A and B are shown apart, each in its own frame.
Chain A
Amino acid sequence: DVKVTQSSRYLVKRTGEKVFLECVQDMDHENMFWYRQDPGLGLRLIYFSYDVKMKEKGDIPEGYSVSREKKERFSLILESASTNQTSMYLCASLLQGSIHEQYFGPGTRLTVT
């Protein structure tokens, strides 16, 4: 069964902390994505990766970085968490060249206090 997992469902961090959000997929997909979802704004793309060690900025990369050292794992890093990064974070993966849908993780609700 297709699976995308995220390391935490809920996370509470303090302002200024470094935060790691992990995403793992077991489908051997080349493409992986990080989105944040906020009411009224839909899903906004932060970064995506189409291969190991490759990354591309999305619409809102500021304040975030990513790491893809292995094909199955795509990490989102908040270098110094701020309250405006409180959000739901969704990871997704997609088979390269596929016309099929993305597969999403369950999401991580991050609260920065």
Chain B
Amino acid sequence: AQKITQTQPGMFVQEKEAVTLDCTYDTSDPSYGLFWYKQPSSGEMIFLIYQGSYDQQNATEGRYSLNFQKARKSANLVISASQLGDSAMYFCTILYNNNDMRFGAGTRLTVKP
């Protein structure tokens, strides 16, 4: 089965600093999509960023960027200038075969004032 690994169950970051959330994955498929979601304490799932496996450039969306290293099967999320509202669970997910989507165990990020 495809496997997503997030090795950081919890992380702390000081407000206004940058933080990197790790994600590695295991697949033999040449084509896949990588997503990061944020889940605040309210429980909703908020889409943050997407990277296609054939995309040459790393994706960026505002303060979010994805450090995609295909050969290492790594898709780390970088949040710049952390804000208190960034405190949440963050999930790395992978879409295979256009219809199979798997999640990592998540990283709980806490931003300290």
Residues of A within 8 A of B (CB): 30-31, 33, 35, 40-45, 48, 50, 56, 58-59, 88, 90, 92, 94, 96-97, 99-102, 104, 106-107
Label chain B's interface by main secondary structure.
strand
Cα distance, A15 to B37, chains bound together (Å): 33
Interface size class of B (residues with CB under 8 A): 20 to 34
The stretch of B13-21, B63-71, B72-80, B95-103 in contact with A is B95-103
Q: Which residue of A lies closest to B105 (CB)?
A: A42
5 contacts between A and B (CB under 8 A): A40-B9, A41-B105, A59-B102, A102-B35, A107-B43
Decide if B50 touches A43 in the complex (CB within 8 Å).
Answer: no
Task: List residues of chain B with CB within 8 A of the CB of A94.
Answer: 95, 99, 101
Task: List residues of chain A with CB within 8 A of the CB of B35.
Answer: 101-102
B52 CB within 8 Å of chain A? yes
Cα distance, A48 to B33, chains bound together (Å): 17
Q: Which residue of A lies closest to B98 (CB)?
A: A97
B44 CB within 8 Å of chain A? yes
Decide if B99 touches A30 in the complex (CB within 8 Å).
Answer: yes
Contact with A along B20-46 (1 / 0, CB 8 A): 000000000000010101000001110
B47 CB within 8 Å of chain A? yes
Leading 9 A-B pairs by shortest Cβ distance? A101-B47, A42-B105, A43-B103, A50-B99, A104-B45, A42-B106, A31-B99, A42-B103, A42-B104
